[in-house]
A = this chain, B = another copy of it.
Amino acid sequence: MKFASRMECLQDKALLNAMELTETEDMISFSAGFPSPETYPVEAIKKSFDQVLDREGKEALSYCSTSGYGKLREIIAQRMNDKFGLSYRTGEVVITSGSQQALDMSSMLFINKGDVVLFETPSYLGAVNALRAYEAELVALPTDGEGLILDALQKALDQYGDRVKLIYVIPDFQNPTGRSWSRSRRKAFVEFISAYEIPVIEDAAYSELSFEDKLEKPLSYYDKKGQVVYVGTFSKTFCPGLRVAWLCARENLMEKYLILKNAADLSSSSIAQRQMAYYLMHNDLDAHIKWITGLYKERRDCMMAVIDREFPKEAHYVIPKGGLFIWLELPENKDSRELLRRAMAEKVAFIPGGSFYPSSVKNNELRLNFSNLSHEDIEKGMTILGRLTRAYLAE
């Protein structure tokens, strides 16, 4: 049997493997990109399902319209507009099955085989996979403490010209580094890119998980042209098991996204969307998020304390002000895959940094998830990892 040529681009199973690593029960795993299951509001969700099934059972179990459940789209638009100063209308929101599907659909909409996509690096593996499935050429752009470096962006645009069809970025508490773009870089980026007809995917998966009171304005806020496609999700602020996320785009794009959504899976789950809408109407999601971020901040602090105490000075990190991850950098001649091999032997897992580079791999970094573990496990696992790192760096 012959397979499509895309399959040759999709041999990297790092994310699949990372997921599987966390499934061993006796493993202390810093691999996951999950929120903490103890934060899932099980009782409120149960009540929402019951109410939805009692009140509108038949509709909830039927096909939904392709764009998604109207009331949920309305609430999402309103919520984003209130929280981030955006100006999306209900008709500019489509519900997707996880934000991964929004990335898949965006790749599908913009990418022909061989087209160039510009990426900040390191970046989210799932987006890399979605784009590889459409045989994009992924071009890595460097970042500094403030975000994507505009000089590098300019150079890439000069070099690749019309071949550049898409830019993918995560401006808030980025996966895997935990870093955020500064306000001035956001403004400067949007102003710079508005001179081009290139769409930008703003992945806002972590945007609401700030450990400080202030939320930074999204790129979409500065976008006057309808060039930025905004991708949001309830997976990190509520729970991932419902697969309810959304994509916002201006009307001219939305029509095309709906054609693709229809081809991909007809529509997302009606009952999951109605449950979500019911929850949002009868509960305070922002209060829930405040509680979650308080919890994650304590876990971050715990992890930083163990790093500061147990790891050699040569292991660097930048304090993440939100999100789920600490990004640890070893000296350049060290390989985090070797560290992982040794850690696995002592039942500790993480994701080696090389997995987050779509090209020109760097191997001296590691991603450490803190959201999904107890203080006890963080203490224990990070102490082991610190000891192993000390030994490895001393070699």
What are the residues of chain B within 8 A of A241 when measuring CB–CB?
60-64, 269-271
Q: Would you call B63 and A16 a contact (CB within 8 A)?
A: no
Q: Would you call B63 and A19 a contact (CB within 8 A)?
A: yes
What are the residues of chain B within 8 A of A111 when measuring CB–CB?
4
| 0 or 1 for each of A184-199: is its CB under 8 Å from B? (1 = yes) | 0000000000000111
Q: How many copies does the complex hold?
A: 2
Known contacts A7-B259, A42-B53; is-contact A19 B108 (Cβ 8 Å): no
Known contacts A112-B4, A126-B266, A271-B242; is-contact A58 B46 (Cβ 8 Å): no
Q: Would you call B3 and A100 a contact (CB within 8 A)?
A: no
A60 to chain B, nearest CB (A): 6
What are the residues of chain B within 8 A of A16 when measuring CB–CB?
66, 258-259, 262
Q: Would you call A100 and B46 a contact (CB within 8 A)?
A: no
Question: Residue of B at shortest CB range from A126?
Answer: B266
Question: Residue of B at shortest CB range from A225?
Answer: B1
Of the stretches A129-137, A305-313, A336-344, A378-386, the one at the interface is A129-137
Complex CA–CA separation, A268 to B112 (angstroms): 27
List A residues 232-252 near B (Cβ within 8 Å): 235, 239-243
Q: Would you call B46 and A7 a contact (CB within 8 A)?
A: no
Q: Would you call A3 and B110 a contact (CB within 8 A)?
A: yes
A135 to chain B, nearest CB (A): 9
A109 within 8 A of B: yes
List A residues 214-234 near B (Cβ within 8 Å): 227
Q: Would you call A263 and B38 a contact (CB within 8 A)?
A: no
A97 within 8 A of B: yes
A201 to chain B, nearest CB (A): 13
A120 within 8 A of B: no
List A residues 252-292 near B (Cβ within 8 Å): 253, 256, 258-260, 262-272
A141 within 8 A of B: no
Instruction: Please give 5 more A-B residue pairs, beta carbons under 8 A apart, in addition to A97-B97, A97-B268, A269-B269.
Output: A3-B110, A5-B112, A49-B49, A104-B264, A269-B272
